[in-house]
Amino acid sequence: MTSLKKTRYRFSKDELKELLFDYNQILDVLPSNRPKSVKIWDETLRDGEQTPGVFLTLEEKQKIAQYLDEIGTAKIAVGFPAISHQELEIVKTISQMELSHATILGISRPRTSDIDACLHADLKEIVLFMPVSDLHLKIMKISHDEQFKIIQDAFDYATDHGLKVNWVFEDGSRARPEHLLRIGQMIINNHAISMILGDTVGVLQPESSAYLIEMFKRELKWNNESTELGIHTHNDFGQAVANTCSAVFHGVTLPHVCVNGYGERAGNAAFEEVVMNLEGMGIKTGIRLEKLTELSHMVEEIFALPLSAHKPIVGSNAFSHESGLHINALLAHPSTYEPINPAWVGQKRRLYLGKFSGSSAIVNALETKLKLSDLRIPRSVIRDIVTDVKNLQQESSKDEKQKLFQQNKQLVEKMRAGISDTEFFKIAKKHAAKYLKNTWAEENCSDN
């Protein structure tokens, strides 16, 4: 593995603009009135912590919050104060940090006890959330009218106690339009800071995300102190980033993200991917892009959840090349096979020598590794070197690689494991043995 040496490329920036056609900039491909800037709302410490097997200490949450603030994140959701006294104290400690940029948020159901917990955590701004689809309403056994009153009462209580309020439509992507709009108008009339569409189970497509945002803009009456629109997406169908960006193109200014796309099930919209997509379309995010890889790797280590080598933007393969044809083109100009300059996001370009490497790649590697300024190697010798490099990779033991792969998978699974079924049922038996049938307890508390 090596890096491209500093060089003068064959094409200038002006020439590249003439040589590369950009379909994203065609008139009417995307809405012309899309936002010029957005405020990044990070959910890593809240939704991200719900990644299976992940648990964050106070010190870890503080470290991540500090870094998110330093790189320009606008809002950071840090936890759910009502779920436990320990969580309340964690949220309170983070809310008292002297951050220079970010607003700290805690989440709350539309209940006075939840709102009180946020007040006890010294929060100035909260996030009210509640499921709004008919499925959830049926489970909760409440009607549309009853839910409307619950939400209104919660807003009254929160604002009466001096809190600024954001609203999240949980499961909004599966709620009836008339119910969304009725609640949405009430949210605007209550001067909410923001109104967030939640695609809680990741079922939207970019087109339907755009449709819902346009529906809100068209059907609701916005006051002068305009409530900002946001979106919270999940990645169950691999569309979280696409749905988030589509929503922004149609008017959303508060995209929710999680570093590395962590989160429940298949995760959330990835911080680094959303940011780079929006910046690439000329939408300012306020994020220090050169810190994205450092942020990603710090959170990866704290979460103890390894990233794929092919992770966009921050993965180890994101700017790596082996093909001889690709490497030759990169020597002419990196834009041939890199849409992003790796330095922009704190990455480095890497060249791998292997089966697909050509003579030019080998020569470049020799120049770099051996630091030869005037290399003169006969073609026959270059061919021999190329052959040996390719053979070395092809002759390396696949069995050994497969063995290491399986070992790594087992280690990763062990790291992400929570409480096992056996451990859970032992705890259940300890506290509720007299309520359990003997056969059930014996079967489920087995050490096997």
Mean pLDDT of 197-212: 98
Give the residue-averaged pLDDT of 139-164.
98
Q: How confident is the model at residue 342 (pLDDT cuts 50, 70, 90)?
A: confident
Q: Give the pLDDT confidence of 12-44 residue by residue, as tens digits.
A: 888 888 888 999 989 889 999 999 999 999 999
Residue 150: HSE in the Cβ half-sphere, 13 Å Cα cutoff: 17
Mean of the per-residue pLDDT values for the chain?
86
Please give the pLDDT value at position 89: 96
Q: Is the pLDDT of residue 336 over 70?
A: no
Q: What is the pLDDT of residues 390-435, one digit of tens each?
A: 666 666 666 776 777 677 767 766 665 566 667 777 787 788 777 7
Please state whether 412 falls in left (phi above 0), alpha (psi between -120 and 50) or beta. alpha
Per-residue pLDDT tens digits for 66-109? 999 999 999 999 999 999 999 999 999 999 999 999 999 999 99
Confidence of residue 328 (pLDDT cuts 50, 70, 90): low
What is the band of 377 on the pLDDT scale with cuts at 50, 70, 90? low
Q: What is the pLDDT of residues 160-203, one digit of tens each?
A: 999 999 999 999 999 999 999 999 999 999 999 999 999 999 99
Residue 63's H or E segment, with its range, is helix 58-70
Note the pLDDT tens digit of each residue in 261-278.
999 999 999 999 999 999
How many CB atoms lie under 10 A from the CB of residue 399? Answer: 8
Higher pLDDT, residue 444 or 195: 195
* pLDDT the model gives residue 369: 47
Indicate if the pLDDT at residue 374 is higher than 60.
Answer: no
Mean of pLDDT values over 275-302: 97
pLDDT score of 331 more than 80: no
When pLDDT is averaged across residues 273-302 and rounded to a whole number, the result is: 97
Distance set, CA 22 to CA 44, 249, 271, 318, 435 (Å): 33, 17, 24, 21, 67
Let me know: does 198 contact 213? Beta carbons within 8 Å. no
- pLDDT at position 2 is 43
6: Cβ contacts below 8 Å, ≥ 6 apart: none
Q: What's the predicted TM-score (pTM) here?
A: 0.83
Domain edges within the chain: 34-303, 320-398, 418-444
Phi and psi at residue 387, in whole multiples of 5°? -60, -45
Q: Which CATH architecture has domain 34-303?
A: Alpha-Beta Barrel (3.20)
Whole-number pLDDT of residue 316? 86
